[in-house]
Amino acid sequence: MSSFLDRLTGRGERSSAKTAKERLIVVLNHDRSDIGPGMLETIKNEIIRVLSEHIDVDPSAVQVSLFSEGREQHLKADIPLAVTSRRKRIR
């Protein structure tokens, strides 16, 4: 329903302005923080390495990203705990 409306009102997937906005947000997060995609990957791997010494972490599930609140930059790490770490504790 909403995609039909989107198409009808020109705000759906064909809206190039939406794409422009999304791309700008990503590129500005990197520009502002001076943290490129490569460094973000390095940070992620370091976090995984350090945490793995203490808990089970599923490396493929870890997400490290940049986001802005106004002109303030944040680094966000989302680290789901591997199921095995909970099982171990229960045992």
Partner 1 sequence: MAAKVLTITSGKGGVGKTTATANIGVALASLGQKVVCIDSDIGLRNLDVVLGLENRIVYDLVDVVEGRARLRQAMIKDKRLPELYLIPAAQTRDKTAVSPSDMIRICDELRPDMDWVLIDSPAGIERGFRNAIAATDTALIVTNPEVSAVRDADRIIGLLEAEEKGPGKLIINRIKPELVERGDMLDTADVLEILAIELLGLIPEDESVLIATNRGNPAALDMKSKAGQAFRDIAKRLMGEKVPFPSLDGTDNLRKKLSRLIHRTGAA
Interface with partner 1 (CB under 8 A)? 1-2, 5, 8-11, 14-18, 20-21, 23-25, 27-28, 31-32, 68, 70-71
Residue closer to partner 1, measured from CB, 20 or 75: 20
CB of 11 to partner 1, least distance (A): 5
- Encoding tokens for residue 30? 């990197």
CB of 13 to partner 1, least distance (A): 10
CA distance 43 to 33: 13
- Encoding tokens for residue 46? 């370091």
What is the identity of the amino acid at 23? Answer: R
CB of 28 to partner 1, least distance (A): 5
Measured distance between the N- and C-terminal CA atoms of the chain, rounded to whole angstroms:
48
